[in-house]
Structure 1
Amino acid sequence: MRFYKEFGIFLPKIQNKIEQKYKTKAQSVVKMQDPDFRESYLATVSIKPSLLLKGENPRLIDEWQDAPESDIDGITSSLSIEQLIHAACRGGWPAALFKKGDDAQLVVAQDYLENICQTDISTVDGVERNPKWTKAILKSYARNVSTLAKTSSIHKDILSESDNFSIITLDSYLNALRRLFVIEDLDAWSPSIRSATSIRSGKKREFSDPSIAVAAMGVSPEYFYTDLKTFGFVFETLCIRDLKVYSQKLRGELSYYRDRTGLEADAVLHLNDGRYALIEFKLGSREIEEGAKHLTTLKELIREHNKKSDQIQLREPDLLMVVTGGQMAYTRPDGVKVVPIGCLRD
């Protein structure tokens, strides 16, 4: 057993079992073979192992031999997946942030949804609208959040509840919800790296706050514990909301990129000084590789376009970033930044 007292770190050698006396000395423990975190830990220590040193000292790193040593710094987020889910369901409403108790915090978004359907949808422009239809539209929007669902698809959802609801009426409701800043769709970014017909141009369906989507779904935070796939779409809305807030002072604008080949960037953040970032949102660590590959491929596509084009050159992205629901931030060898949502700041 080696003990680096000056750093407050235990680095045990390979053993079938770490002796209990060493566990009792440690104030915090990292278990490299924890099935829930192993992949994330290994990905992190291969690039920024110093992240594992964050924590109360003395710190026990169990099965340290699974990863190579290196001397790099990094940041961590203490936000657990349960806390992340609660934050998305609670929303960013000031009234919710100051409520005591988790249940009380969740009621704020639910009450807001009810006010939208019963009152605001009609008072925004003086046109009387049906609360039931409004709720059905928001529920369909929530089911399609962070997707490129067409208006016709949402219309079909509503027709299942009311067969005399026209698409013209739907457009009127959607415009009212936009004026209320309830829904805030993302426009497509269309650089000249592919033909215009290859790049998707539809709007990405988004809410101004993820809690509205959750309230419209009519589910609790516990629901997402066993349906993280659905929460992944809500997580994307949460990330987009935060990026909008943090980039406000630089007058940042968000869009998205997707083409027919499946290449995408969940968000493209343009700043007012010309810089821009390509961003992917991946809730779990297993999806990071896929997200990073999308970003590096898109950057290479821009680079290849510039080599072949005689026209004005496209600026290459200044940042490639995968925003995750994990706890460790690091830079990959390909230059992609992996940043937990809990570490995003303005």
Structure 2
Amino acid sequence: MKTYFRRMVDDELDLRLRSSGAVLIVGPKWCGKTTTAEQKAQSVVKMQDPDFRESYLATVSIKPSLLLKGENPRLIDEWQDAPILWDAVRTEVDRRGEDGLFILTGSSSFDLSKTIHSGTGRISRLKMFPMSLFESQESNGQISLSKLFDAPESDIDGITSSLSIEQLIHAACRGGWPAALFKKGDDAQLVVAQDYLENICQTDISTVDGVERNPKWTKAILKSYARNVSTLAKTSSIHKDILSESDNFSIITLDSYLNALRRLFVIEDLDAWSPSIRSATSIRSGKKREFSDPSIAVAAMGVSPEYFYTDLKTFGFVFETLCIRDLKVYSQKLRGELSYYRDRTGLEADAVLHLNDGRYALIEFKLGSREIEEGAKHLTTLKELIREHSKKSDQIQLREPDLLMVVTGGQMAYTRPDGVKVVPIGCLRD
């Protein structure tokens, strides 16, 4: 039996099962949704089990409530294969009036307009991500994101990460796919992300909504996305890349493919944070291009970890995707929401992490130590701009950031004289 690597979402799933009749876990394929759900479930129905699939579908067509019978919580894996189960679960939750009855898992964002009821108040939605470095036991977790918010004056000086740059590159290329951790050899671990990409292009891009799509075009889109990862590349730029391979590929078709990839949780762009501290025309508002896991970008580029040994500049963009993935995982219990800030003067924060209690952090991602000074300067300048705006404004005051942080691929943590926390990604946890 394989070892279960504890996930950040475990505690959140416990909470949702105590507060809702059913929990829907969504997230990228292969990120571990079913395995995590099985740790809590007392009975399981796997809709894609080839030994039982036909009988399950036949049962659903006659009396779907029969599939809901069993010990609770009852896991229904890939429930969207029989959408009527959504309404059956909702009805059963209403009938019994109990919490923690069902767990539903799915690898795509289902169109709930195809169901009778939305599930609001009965079915709680929980997002799951690929594994963070702390979950894969590569970050030592000596610096807590929660504690940095709660006690920003806490001493982090001298805490070190044991991750070398080569290990960090491998972790990004391998990705946060649980199955990869059990493969024998670094080369075998890398194949998982490559297989993931191939499955998306050959099968999932069409099965997600029943619209037949071209695998070659899908791969070209993902390759363009990878070349533009962690940038504000416009959709028109990606479209131009595809036109170099197919001159009859319309912008409308591109939108269809991108929407399908979003529903599969393959691409997850960051929205802009647009505080009223400068003219609206000076603040960049486009989406920052991101994947749900850095390994998808690497697989789409078609490069090996060794490639990045001599191209750390390109790896810096992949590193940013890794950091964003991990911050999403670590901030989940704080109800964190990530965005970015950039204006036309060059002032930026690679990420802005807002918590549901109003606190927020301005964050820069810098792979090497030589870039930390520049990143810290961006953060302190932006903080001062916010402060000056609040002094002059007669309207609602904009809260100053509660935390300034540079997340780095280096090994030493410390607090700078200007208050900016420098934190290696190999030390961070929730």
TM-score (norm 1): 0.79
CA apart distance, 1:12: 45
Between stretches 106-115 and 42-51, larger displacement belongs to: 42-51
CA apart distance, 1:134: 0.1
Between stretches 220-229 and 68-77, larger displacement belongs to: 68-77
Could you tell me whether the CA contact under 8 Å between 1:51 and 1:76 is conserved in 2? no
* Unpaired runs of at least 5, structure 1: 1-9
Distance 1:17 1:173, change over 3 A: closer
Distance 1:15 1:46, change over 3 A: farther
Taking the aligned partners of 2:52 and 2:373, their CA distance within structure 1 comes to: 16
CA apart distance, 1:272: 1.0
DSSP 3-state at the match of 1:11: coil
Distance 1:166 1:344, change over 3 A: same
CA apart distance, 1:99: 1.5
Taking the aligned partners of 1:282 and 1:15, their CA distance within structure 2 comes to: 30
Between stretches 129-138 and 94-103, larger displacement belongs to: 94-103
Could you tell me whether the CA contact under 8 Å between 1:48 and 1:330 is conserved in 2? no
Between stretches 283-292 and 36-45, larger displacement belongs to: 36-45
Percent sequence identity is: 96
Could you tell me whether the CA contact under 8 Å between 1:49 and 1:70 is conserved in 2? no
Between stretches 228-237 and 51-60, larger displacement belongs to: 51-60
Could you tell me whether the CA contact under 8 Å between 1:91 and 1:211 is conserved in 2? yes
Taking the aligned partners of 1:324 and 1:47, their CA distance within structure 2 comes to: 56
CA apart distance, 1:28: 52
Taking the aligned partners of 1:90 and 1:98, their CA distance within structure 2 comes to: 12
Taking the aligned partners of 1:77 and 1:312, their CA distance within structure 2 comes to: 41
Distance 1:343 1:26, change over 3 A: farther
* Unpaired runs of at least 5, structure 2: 15-37, 81-149
Taking the aligned partners of 2:402 and 2:342, their CA distance within structure 1 comes to: 19
CA apart distance, 1:55: 53
Between stretches 271-280 and 24-33, larger displacement belongs to: 24-33
Could you tell me whether the CA contact under 8 Å between 1:11 and 1:61 is conserved in 2? no
Taking the aligned partners of 2:389 and 2:275, their CA distance within structure 1 comes to: 10
Distance 1:129 1:206, change over 3 A: same
CA apart distance, 1:98: 1.8
Following superposition of structure 1 onto structure 2, how do residues 93-104 of structure 1 map, counting pairs within 5 Å? 93-104=177-188
CA apart distance, 1:40: 62
Could you tell me whether the CA contact under 8 Å between 2:232 and 2:286 is conserved in 1? yes
Distance 1:28 1:335, change over 3 A: farther
DSSP 3-state at the match of 1:77: coil
Taking the aligned partners of 1:70 and 1:181, their CA distance within structure 2 comes to: 36
Per-residue CA shift, 1:202-255, capped at 9, x if unaligned? 000000000000000000000000000000000000000000001011110000
Could you tell me whether the CA contact under 8 Å between 2:351 and 2:362 is conserved in 1? yes
Distance 1:314 1:126, change over 3 A: same
Per-residue CA shift, 1:157-189, capped at 9, x if unaligned? 000000000000000000000000000000000
The size of the alignment, in residue pairs, is: 334
CA apart distance, 1:260: 0.5
Taking the aligned partners of 2:195 and 2:337, their CA distance within structure 1 comes to: 30
Between stretches 212-221 and 47-56, larger displacement belongs to: 47-56
Could you tell me whether the CA contact under 8 Å between 1:45 and 1:52 is conserved in 2? yes
Between stretches 161-170 and 98-107, larger displacement belongs to: 98-107
Match of residue 345, structure 2, among 261, 266, 270: 261
DSSP 3-state at the match of 1:223: helix
Could you tell me whether the CA contact under 8 Å between 1:47 and 1:332 is conserved in 2? no
CA apart distance, 1:92: 0.3
Q: Is residue 325 of structure 1 aligned with residue 340 of structure 2? A: no
CA apart distance, 1:97: 1.5
Per-residue CA shift, 1:31-64, capped at 9, x if unaligned? 9999999999999999999999999999999999
Taking the aligned partners of 1:273 and 1:25, their CA distance within structure 2 comes to: 29
Could you tell me whether the CA contact under 8 Å between 1:265 and 1:279 is conserved in 2? yes
DSSP 3-state at the match of 2:412: coil
Q: Is residue 119 of structure 1 aligned with residue 203 of structure 2? A: yes
Could you tell me whether the CA contact under 8 Å between 2:156 and 2:415 is conserved in 1? no
User: Looking at both structures, which has the greater relative contact order when contacts are Cα pairs under 8 Å and sequence separation is at least 6?
Assistant: 2
Distance 1:69 1:143, change over 3 A: closer
CA-atom RMSD, angstroms? 18.2
Taking the aligned partners of 2:76 and 2:216, their CA distance within structure 1 comes to: 55
DSSP 3-state at the match of 1:188: coil
Between stretches 336-345 and 72-81, larger displacement belongs to: 72-81
TM-score (norm 2): 0.64
Which ranges of 4 or more aligned residues in structure 1 deviate by more than 6 Å? 10-19, 23-72
CA apart distance, 1:16: 56
DSSP 3-state at the match of 2:256: helix
Distance 1:304 1:36, change over 3 A: farther
Could you tell me whether the CA contact under 8 Å between 2:8 and 2:329 is conserved in 1? no
Taking the aligned partners of 1:47 and 1:306, their CA distance within structure 2 comes to: 63
CA apart distance, 1:74: 2.8
